[in-house]
């Protein structure tokens, strides 16, 4: 049970980070963006993936071109899927088979979005020169250390007090 709570909190933490970056992005209101594409939005404004790298004008133009193509090619998040899930949640009787089918479809769509986002990020990364890649790697390591620290704090706050698991209630 404790493990599930930790996983839920970690998921919420990650979701919050993504949502915060979406809310903070200058390009968050651009038409054609799909939910969950925060890294792509931030990359073009040099805040997300490339916030620590000084890009040349030619590199910025290549990034814009990649983003334009990604917007055209990206699978769309369908509101219909969300509505179907709501219908399944609010049904008189729980239909596990229908829920599994719907979740599987939604997961497959998410996988396709993630693949597309990763493909574009890889192309963006490969536009960088050696020095820019070093700076980007250093920033990545810094972010990972920050995330590890946050996760450690969450885990520490979720740990039961010393002896709490072995103590028996007093009669």
Whether residue 163 is contained in a domain is answered as: no
Candidates 14, 20, 19, 42; CA nearest to 30 is 42
Residue 63 · residue 43 · CB < 8 Å: yes
Enter the DSSP assignment of 29: T
**Distance, first Cα to last Cα, the chain:** 26
Q: What is the pLDDT of residue 145?
A: 95
pLDDT digit string (tens) for 135-171?
Answer: 999 999 999 999 999 999 998 888 776 655 555 555 5
Q: What is the pLDDT of residue 156?
A: 87
Whether residue 74 is contained in a domain is answered as: yes
Buried/exposed code over 49-60 (b: 16+ C-beta within 10 A; e: otherwise): bbeebebeeebe
> Which domain CATH number covers 16?
1.20.120.1490
Whether residue 167 is contained in a domain is answered as: no
Residue length of the chain: 171
Whether residue 55 is contained in a domain is answered as: yes
- Between the alpha carbon of residue 64 and those of residues 27, 41, 58, 103, 154, the distances in Å are 12, 10, 10, 33, 37
Q: How many domains does the chain have?
A: 1
Whether residue 145 is contained in a domain is answered as: yes
CA angle 35, 39, 42 (to 5 degrees): 105
Candidates 113, 120, 108, 115; CA nearest to 70 is 120
Number of alpha carbons in the 13 Å side-chain half-sphere of residue 55: 23
pLDDT digit string (tens) for 22-68?
Answer: 334 333 333 343 444 444 444 433 346 677 788 889 988 888 888 88
Whether residue 120 is contained in a domain is answered as: yes
Burial class of residue 125, CB neighbours in 10 A (0-12, 13-18, 19+): middle
pLDDT digit string (tens) for 65-98?
Answer: 888 888 877 666 678 888 999 999 999 999 999 9
> Measured between alpha carbons, how far is 3 from 1 in angstroms, rounded to an integer?
5
Domain that holds residue 78: 2-156
Candidates 62, 64, 61, 43; CA nearest to 52 is 43
The percentage of the chain sitting over the pLDDT mark of 70, rounded to a whole number, equals 63
Whether residue 166 is contained in a domain is answered as: no
Whether residue 65 is contained in a domain is answered as: yes
Per-residue confidence band for 15, with pLDDT thresholds at 50, 70 and 90: very low
pLDDT digit string (tens) for 102-139?
Answer: 999 999 988 988 898 899 999 999 999 999 999 999 99
């Amino acid at each position: 049970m404790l493990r599930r709570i930790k996983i839920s909190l970690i998921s919420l933490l990650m979701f919050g980070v993504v949502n915060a970056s979406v809310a903070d992005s200058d390009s968050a209101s651009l038409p054609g963006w799909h939910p969950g594409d925060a890294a792509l939005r931030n990359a073009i404004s040099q805040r997300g993936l490339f916030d620590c790298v000084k890009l040349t004008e030619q590199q910025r133009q290549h990034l814009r071109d990649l983003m334009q193509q990604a917007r055209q090619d990206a699978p769309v998040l369908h509101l219909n899927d969300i509505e179907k899930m709501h219908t399944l949640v609010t049904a008189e009787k729980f239909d596990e088979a229908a829920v599994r089918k719907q979740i599987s479809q939604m997961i497959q769509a998410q996988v396709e979005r993630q693949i597309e986002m990763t493909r574009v990020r890889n192309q963006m990364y490969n536009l960088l020169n050696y020095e820019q890649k070093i700076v980007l790697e250093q920033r990545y390591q810094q972010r990972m250390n920050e995330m590890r620290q946050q996760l450690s704090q969450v885990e520490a706050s979720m740990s039961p007090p010393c002896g709490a698991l072995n103590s028996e209630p007093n009669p």
